[in-house]
Structure 1
Amino acid sequence: MRRGGYWIIILALFALLIVVLALGCTRRSNPERALTYPEGTLLTASVDWNSLEGNAYGDPARRNVYIYCPPGFGENSEKEYPVLYLLHGYAERYHYFDKIHQIQKVADRLITSKQIQPMLIVMPDCFTSFGGSYYTNSEVFINKYESVEFGGSYEDFIISELRAYIDGSFPIRGELREESPPADSLVYRKNRAIGGYDMGGYGALKLAMKYPQYYGSISAMSPYPTHFTYGETDTVIDGLELTNMPQEWIDVVFGENGFSPGNVKAYYSMFDSVMEKGVYSMPHTARLFAMASAFSPHSDYVKFAEPETVSTFFKGTFMGALGIDLPMDASGNTMYFAWKHLWRKHDLKILLDSLSKQRGINPFEEIDIYMDCGSEDDFALTQVRLFDSYLDELGIDHHYEEYTGYGDFFAGGDNFLHDRFDDILKFHSRSFPKLTNLNAPQIVYPTGSQEVNLGSILELNVEAEDADGDSMILGAKFVLFEQKPVKNEADPLNDTTNATFEDFGNGKGLLTFIPKENQVGLWVVRFRVSDGELWSEKLITIRVKK
């Protein structure tokens, strides 16, 4: 046989092999295809935000915001969704959670597999020239009557502008008007959540404790900082109550820059070193400047008791008469004005104490809280543990989880953020009110607001209907709104005799309420109807008048 004949045989056998392999492949399902899910939509809104205009850095007021919309979004014009605001960490941008950690794929999978409710996820851009805003308004006075936003009003941006933009542009459950009744306010905040990682975790905790009327749940992943402390020594923990900046913090900044206290030239070149080496090479120093730009911007208008109580950077540069006051000087001493009067009020423990005293109620009393941190996170772990213990001392119900790594992957930084999204989104989904099934029974009466005078009898007939004709069970529960947010819940149907509810069957019932002296005020009654499998609720208000 000639040499060419061998090649013909070889080519024929090769062709036969290809056919066999092709036929074999058609009999197997493609595992990659089997793991795909219907995709949601990741929208980008680019807006000029008023609260970020005119800052001393010259940072742009036009910022992008990612809005994740779940699979099927827009197919039903009447469908409304809960929303999660997710805040990025230090030195990151709005696209961080998706481009790095693929939150869209995680949300698509969990929603399609019905492990979580469909929800919107809003991811704003709060990056600044110093790496991060700490979600704070950095206002500084330039004379007796005028102030400027030194780095931008990022608290106002999240709380006012962005919230109004999302409420007005997307179908979000609940509506909040100026004179909204408590029932509407409760529905509004329960359908809104805030979370974040690192600096974003700090921002989520801070904004939720300042504005609890807007959020029903918080998730803080490795929040940093919670306390302005370092290390685990007794000195540092006691330092929460002292006026000095923790020595560990000062030491780590000097060590990171490679010079000893007293070297003034090296001290004032710290920021140049950050710019040269990068924020990830000098994280403690970089964050110190970012926090100072948010917490202690400098103005010559502020007069200090002693000249040495200020340590200013950037004055006379592009910021003109403005600058940044660090809470430490070149010798490692605490700058008391910056530390005591400007920084410490942003410490979450101190802020929570202050707000609780002002309002007579802990702001976290009615908010679902989730915190986590990696067991090898050298930045956040100590502080998160301290804050967890502090919430325990206050009796604030919350969930804290400390997770471990495996193999060569240590549990620190954002190494496991993609994995943590499963728990975070499930937590918020559980906190959001459950969607009412279309086949669930519905309460059709009573509606609106009711009034009753002290000593009078209020009788309300309750009616429900079920499209399937199933038998129904009715119930009722009272919630007393002494102030906003709800201070406590009481159930007079169980512990008093002045309110009764009778279920007559067939979707009919009667609420009888004879208010007592201590029950003057506004009440919300939550009626629930169930067919044994599905259920729905309706809220009405009852005002007890003297």
Structure 2
Amino acid sequence: MSVFNHKKAYPKGEIKQFNIESKRLKDNALGDPHQRKLNVYLPPGYDHTQAYPVMYYLAAYTNSGLGVTGWRNFGESIPERLDRLIGDEKIGPIIMVFPDCFTSLGGNQYLDSPAIGDYASHIHEELIPFVESELAVKSGAQHRAVLGKSSGGFAAIRFAMDYPGFWGAIANHSGDAGFEVLYRRDFPAVADVLVDFNGDIDKFVKRFWRSKKIMGSHILALMHICLAATYDPQKDGIRLPFDLNTCVLDEAAWQQWLSHDPINRVADSTDALAALNGLYMDCGFRDQYYIHYGMRELAQTLEKHKIKHTYEEFNGTHSGIDYRLDESLPYLYEKIQ
């Protein structure tokens, strides 16, 4: 018996691809494309005379909407997972949107930044109206959810905080939080990479994309450059929150980073968060980036401010956790159907 035949066959949805020309991303500081491909999952038996709830999936750093909809060597792709959950009646038919927000800094935190581009505005001002005009989507925030893992999970809760009235429910899987624990421990490793380029960030980024072999340490450095450009954008160049020679913290720059930590934004976002119909979070208690500590503090802060939410921990790391979508997708569907 072929190993390819072990899966139950389910009716298949369709990935429909659109070409998007974004005014918000045009002339961005990185020179990244403002013309993007948008993948959208349509459920089996999609009928344009009906209306469906819609979810937006935000890919983690290093990935994009184009990547998460492709074939998977082990396990299910997200479209395959949706087919199964719909087929097993764990959720009803939904539309899922997969924005492509990849940048030449290796990914995205999905915030507006003059150093990267207006990606939050791109999603809220351009993609949402486009999807609702082109597809059979139930209108209104009460039928719209956003979810993601890691950087995508960070963005999901920031969208709920920063764009009240746009989302009915969110799911945050292992999203960046607790920056003091999450980021600071990596500053010496980033400095060790950049010393080979005499601290010249532009030179490092250009060399990164020309390299035939990309090292993990270089991806880490690129990620921190992306974070700096997002959390602390400068008019000229990119400012890291530490001295490259000594790793002594630049307190002014670091405070800019901390101001974006979801934990530090709850107090000023209570009305927006309380307006959600559902707020789901989870994290593996063996997360190799120690995000579980930040997620625990975020959950405690939500509890302190009496924000209704669900937080779960599971025996897992930061990797290979798409199976947790079996928990969040039914939760979100119940809240926005």
TM-score normalised per structure 2: 0.87
Once residues 398 and 271 of structure 1 are traced to their aligned partners in structure 2, the CA distance between those partners, rounded to angstroms, is 44
Residue segments in structure 1 that go unaligned for 5+ positions in a row: 1-24, 140-149, 175-187, 232-247, 300-321, 405-410, 434-546
Indicate the structure whose relative CO is greater, using CA pairs within 8 Å and at least 6 residues apart.
2
In structure 1, the partner of 2:94 is 119
SS of the equivalent of 2:293 reads helix
- Secondary structure of the 1:111 match is helix
Deviation of the 1:327 alpha carbon: 1.6
Equivalent of residue 227 in structure 2, options 283, 287, 291: 291
Output the amino acid matched with 1:375.
Answer: F
Instruction: Sort the Cα spacing of 1:199 and 1:44 in 2 relative to 1 into closer, same or farther, 3 A.
Output: same
2:124 to 139, 142, 159: 159
- Considering only aligned residues, what root-mean-square deviation do their CA atoms show, in Å? 2.7
Q: Distance in 1 between matches of 2:324 and 2:203?
A: 34
Indicate how the Cα distance of structure 1 residues 70 and 386 shifts in structure 2: closer, same or farther if over 3 A, else same.
same
Counterpart of 1:201 (choices 150, 153, 164) is 153
Q: Which amino acid aligns with 2:226?
A: A
CA deviation after TM superposition for structure 1 residue 34, in Å:
7.7
Cα offset, 1:377, TM superposition: 1.0
- Residue 61 of structure 2 corresponds to 90
Match of 2:257 among 329, 343, 358: 343
Once the two structures are superposed, residues 133-180 of structure 1 have per-residue CA deviations (whole angstroms, 9 ceiling, x without a partner) of 2111112xxxxxxxxxx3110010111111111111111113xxxxxx
- Does structure 2 retain, via aligned residues, the 8 Å contact 1:271–1:286? no
Distance 1:290 1:269 in 2: 11
AA in 2 matched with 1:367: N
Secondary structure in 1 matching 2:165 = helix
> Which residue is equivalent to 1:229?
180
Give the superposition deviation at 1:283: 4.8
SS for the counterpart of 2:24 is helix
Equivalent position to 1:278, from 214, 232, 237: 214
Alignment match, 1:354: 268
Compared CA separation, residues 258 and 328, structure 1 to 2 (3 A): closer
Q: Which amino acid counterpart does residue 146 of structure 2 have in structure 1? A: I
Q: Specify the alignment match of 1:427 in structure 2.
A: 331
| Contact 2:197–2:203 (8 Å) recurs in 1 | no
2:314 equivalent to 1:382: no
**Quick one: which amino acid aligns to residue 32 of structure 1?**
N
Q: Which residue of 2 aligns with 1:313?
A: none
Task: Give the CA deviation at 1:258.
Answer: 4.1
The answer to which structure has the higher strand fraction is 1
Separation of aligned partners in 2, 1:159 and 1:432: 18
In the alignment, which of 408, 415, 422 is matched to residue 320 of structure 2? 415
1:195 aligned counterpart, secondary structure: strand
Q: Deviations over 1:467-510 (max 9, x none)?
A: xxxxxxxxxxxxxxxxxxxxxxxxxxxxxxxxxxxxxxxxxxxx
For 1:30-41, what aligned pairs fall within 5 Å after superposition? 32=5, 35-41=8-14
Query: Which deviates the most, 347-356 or 381-390?
Result: 347-356
1:60 corresponds to 2:12: no
**What is the CA-CA distance between 1:278 and the residue it aligns to?**
3.3
Structure with the greater alpha carbon radius of gyration: 1
How far, CA to CA, are the matches of 1:60 and 1:112 in structure 2? Answer: 37
**Unmatched tracts of structure 2, length 5 or more:** none
Deviations 1:214-253 (A, max 9, x none): 11111011112x232116xxxxxxxxxxxxxxxx71x532
Q: Which residue does 1:71 correspond to in 2?
A: 44
Q: How does 1:499-514 map to 2 (within 5 A)?
A: none
Detail structure 1 runs of 4+ shifted over 6 Å in the superposition. none
Query: Offset at 1:194?
Result: 0.4
User: Displacement, 1:210?
Assistant: 1.4
CA 160–36 in structure 1, closer or farther in 2 if over 3 Å, else same: same
Partner of 1:391: 302
In the TM superposition, what is the alpha-carbon distance from 1:364 to its structure 2 partner? Answer: 3.4
Q: Which amino acid aligns with 1:200?
A: G
Query: What amino acid is the match of 2:312?
Result: E
Any idea what the Cα deviations from partners look like across 1:29-82, whole Å, max 9, x if unmatched?
x993881011110111121111111012110001111100000003xx421000
Q: How does 1:135-174 map to 2 (within 5 A)?
A: 135-139=110-114, 150-174=115-139
Greater helix share, structure number: 2
Among 196, 219, 222, which residue is 2:171 paired with? 219
Letter paired with 1:207: F
Relative distance call for 1:229 and 1:124 in structure 2 (3 A) is same
Amino acid at match of 1:57: L
**Contact 2:193 2:218 (8 Å CA) reproduced:** no
| 2:265 partner amino acid | L
Distance 2:288 2:203 in 1: 23
| Aligned match for 1:254, one of 174, 181, 188 | 188
1:132 lines up with 2:64 in the alignment: no
CA distance in 1, matches of 2:24, 2:97: 18
Conservation of the 8 A alpha-carbon contact between 1:48 and 1:61:
yes
Amino acid at match of 2:44: P
Counterpart AA for 1:370: Y
Change (3 A) 1:363 1:31: closer
